[in-house]
Structure 1
């Protein structure tokens, strides 16, 4: 009789522990999922930027998700182009050891970090020219560089990491608007 009671009671005890412990585990899992969703909503690919939230309805249930604009709005190519050249492009910054931040034409990049300036070979693109660089936009040919000879340009970027990430690009179209 004692064995019969043990065989009946043991499954009940196990079921009770499992059944009463399950809601606690489920609550913990739900809290973890909600925290992860909150963390994901707060993350942004740009440090310090807030993302717009769009609300959509799925199966009569509202869901929110962040909108990521993966392609920046590019300026359109100008219509008053004097001449077009294709170049090899690299990028530079004014924030490095040995950099003074003042271009050949006198533009102070430290005081004007949002200014779009390119370094050129003046024999190819005259200094002071207004240009449109594919993937960079309108800029001033305001600087030179010892390695910038022939069909090569160097794009100024205010952030060192952006300049590194730009790398070296071949066959970049540069439209000279005014020289």
Structure 2
């Protein structure tokens, strides 16, 4: 691509020189006037080449820099008040023994009540009371992101939520315990699958927000 652009510019310059020589022989235009005219066109050609190179370099840099950062956070990007609000007390949990009593060598380690694996992503798995938020319910939780109800817990009754984080450190540094309004985006039907979670997290229109919440290692 670059060689093609340079070749075209050189051909243009040679054409200008050839045209100028012919015009000089026919019209008697002074050599200095022709020289000035050629120099001006040569400078314009170089400027054009410089702008083209700069544009190509910028596009290359953008393509290597990864996803474009959103101008707004997910909290600011939508009018969440259009959805039903529900006040809850939310805590954080992990897949480890401190929260579930399970160790990594347990066959059920990292598996939720619904059968899907715990996940911290744009759409993360959360635990709730199914009588309040049925399995599969999609919530928007300010400062956490989307939560898909996939788990339950003996202490998670009524208006309580448990939000999944990868480590205990993440729980304490990023959340702790909060009482806040969450927004019901979609009420669940009692089930959720890995394929449904994958589809939500791979939604192309939402990728600009994904790194805002995603911490899972791939």
Spell out the pairing of 1:19-168 with structure 2 (5 A cutoff).
Answer: 73-75=73-75, 76-77=77-78, 83-96=84-97, 98-99=101-102, 100-109=109-118, 112=119, 114=121, 116-165=124-173, 166-168=175-177
Could you say what secondary structure the match of 2:169 adopts? Answer: helix
Could you say what secondary structure the match of 2:170 adopts? Answer: helix
Q: 2:41 is matched with which residue?
A: none
Q: Does 1:176 align with 2:184?
A: yes
Q: Report runs of 4+ in structure 1 exceeding 3 Å deviation.
A: 72-82, 112-115
Deviation at 1:164, TM superposition (A): 2.7
Return 5+ residue gaps in structure 2 as ranges.
1-71, 103-108, 188-218
TM-score (normalised: structure 2): 0.43
Please identify which structure carries the higher strand content. Answer: 1
Return 5+ residue gaps in structure 1 as ranges.
1-71
| CA pair 118-78 structure 1, distance change in 2 beyond 3 A | farther
Length, aligned pairs only: 105
What's the CA shift string for 1:79-125, capped at 9, x where partnerless? 5955220100100011335232111111112xx45451110011111
Could you say what secondary structure the match of 1:161 adopts? Answer: helix
| CA pair 105-81 structure 1, distance change in 2 beyond 3 A | farther
- Kept in 2, the 8 Å contact 1:77–1:132? The answer is no
CA distance in 2, matches of 1:88, 1:79: 19
TM-score (normalised: structure 1): 0.52
CA distance in 1, matches of 2:78, 2:129: 22
- Kept in 2, the 8 Å contact 1:127–1:141? The answer is yes
- Kept in 2, the 8 Å contact 1:131–1:178? The answer is yes
Please identify which structure carries the higher helix content. Answer: 2
| CA pair 77-146 structure 1, distance change in 2 beyond 3 A | farther
